[in-house]
Amino acid sequence: MAKRIGMEVSIAAAEAVALADVDVIAAYPITPQTHIVEHLSELVANGHLDAEFIPVESEHSAMSCCVGSAAAGARTFTSTSSQGYALMSEICYIAAGLRLPIVMLTANRALSAPISIWNDHADMMMSRDTGWIQTVAENGQEVIDLVFHAFRVAEDQRVLLPVIVNLDGFILSHMIEPMILLDKEEVDRYLPPYRPKLRLDPKEPITMGPVGMPEVYTESKVAHDEALKASRAVITEAWKEFGDLFGRYYHPVETYKTEDAETILITMGSISETAMTAVDAMRADGRSVGLARIRLWRPFPTEELIAAVKGARTLAVMDRALTLNGVCGPVCAELKSALYDRDLHPYLQNYIVGLGGRDVTVQNFMEMSDGVVEAAERGAPMGYEIINVRE
């Protein structure tokens, strides 16, 4: 039976990885790392988890180990953050290009300089185009549920792509809160053993990762792009089955009080819960506001997001990362492109929030919601604004 636990989210995430019966964990155990791999190393060391824990000399080596391990057919996991993620990013592209079903938890944190260990989505956006499937958690419960989902989707023969579960560094990774953790029998019912059809085996040699001459490089990228597109159906199917089994249903885009909303806020990650509280307060005050939360970052849920927001007159899109001197932040850019393709023209403002650990409050959401309505009335040019900047 699943049990209700109180636990630091990082520790619970490690417990979930252990329940998924992972074979190999390769990680670099120093800042910016979290308790996720620390706890996994304890579980392996004390005999609770029968797996190889490989303490490597850098994050670059961590992902390199994962590539080797997954290519040999082992269920493989790692975890990282910010600068470490940057260092491993070279190999992240390779892991996805080789179609290796590695699962990684990323505690999202800002990138230097200045040095910061605090949360934002700069690292998630840096590796946006690595070709991994990327989901985003709002709370501890989602982190552990998305871990099981990640292995299930990654290893599905129709997918065979690595999956990142993003969780906000500190704000989620270091939070103690209640969660419901499945037991081993329940996890086994949801997640079958990994039986790779193709793997590196000296008895049946194959080649992985050869040179892609100009004659085949484009085609291999098309194949990767098609695979990511095709993963959508498996991602939602696996969420549906998770919900049918355990009662918690997940969707690529979650809506909250959007049905009749004139203004819709769009968020991703842990700020979504704070935004829900702001929506409740504004609704109680008679303001017509709703919220759309993006749970699936790659493949981007274009149709679901358009369906969620198309009835609104004004949109406030929150980005927790800055695209310095671009048109707008990365989440907003996706939405704007999608709206253009469909000839939809709601009034839209992009707010850059919560950089490098800056708090995002209920009051901030109410101000952004009122701000976009006011800007629309005044006909202000649509752009991006970084909020909470000290003068």
Partner 1 sequence: MVEIRFHGRGGQGAVTSAELTALAAIEEGKFAQAFPSFGPERRGAPVMAFVRVSEQQIRTREKIYEPNIVVVLDPSLLEIVNVEAGLREGGLVVLNTSKSAEELRRETGLKARLAIVDATKIALETMRLPITNTTMLGALLKASGIMPIDALRSPIQNRFGPIAEKNLAACLRAFDETNVEG
Query: Which residues here bind partner 1, judged by CB under 8 A?
Result: 4-6, 8, 117-118, 168, 170-171, 174-178, 270-271, 273-274, 276-277, 357, 359-362
Contact 329, 323 (CB under 8 A): yes
Residue 290 to residue 351: CA distance in whole angstroms: 16
Question: Smaller CB distance to partner 1: residue 228 or 366?
Answer: 366
Kind of pairing between the strands at 3-8 and 176-181: antiparallel
Q: Which residue(s) pair with 318 in the sheet?
A: 351
Least distance between partner 1 and beta carbon 7 (Å):
8
Nearer to partner 1, 156 or 273 (CB): 273
Q: Closer to partner 1 at the Cβ: 59 or 168?
A: 168
Residue with structure tokens 């491993």?
Answer: 88
- Choice between 129 and 359, CB closer to partner 1: 359
Q: In sequence order, what are the residues at sequence separation of 6 or more whose Cβ sits closer than 8 angstroms to the Cβ of residue 253? A: 292, 293, 294, 295, 296, 301, 304, 305, 307, 308
Report phi then psi at 383, rounded to 5: -165, -155
Query: Closest separation between CB of residue 389 and partner 1, Å?
Result: 18
Distance CA 47, CA 65 (A): 22
Output the smallest distance, CB 142 to partner 1, in A.
13
Which residue's CB is nearer to partner 1, number 117 or number 386? 117
The least distance separating partner 1 from the CB of residue 358, rounded to whole angstroms, comes to 10
Query: What is the full DSSP assignment across 263-311?
Result: EEEEE-STHHHHHHHHHHHHHHTT--EEEEEE-EEES--HHHHHHHHTT
Q: How far is the CB of 362 from partner 1 (least distance, A)?
A: 6
In terms of CB distance, is 31 or 337 closer to partner 1? 31
Query: What minimum distance in Å lies between the beta carbon of 167 and partner 1?
Result: 12
Q: Which of 314, 325, 336 is nearest to 386 (CA)?
A: 325
C-beta closer to partner 1: residue 87 or 175? 175
| CB-based burial, 221-243: b 16+ in 10 Å, e otherwise | eeebeebbeebbebbbebbeebe
- The CB-of-308 to partner 1 minimum distance in angstroms stands at 19
Spatial neighbors of 286 by CB under 8 A, at least 6 apart, are: none
**Structural contact between residues 279 and 289, judged by C-beta atoms closer than 8 angstroms:** yes
Tokens, residue 90: 């070279």
Least spacing, CB of residue 8 vs partner 1, in Å: 8
Of residues 25 and 136, the one with the C-beta less far from partner 1: 136
Report in angstroms how near the CB of residue 132 gets to partner 1 at its nearest.
25
| CB of 303 or CB of 359, closer to partner 1 | 359
The distance of Cα 101 from the centroid of its chain, to the nearest Å, equals 16
Q: Which of 159, 134, 151, 146 is nearest to 22 (CA)?
A: 151
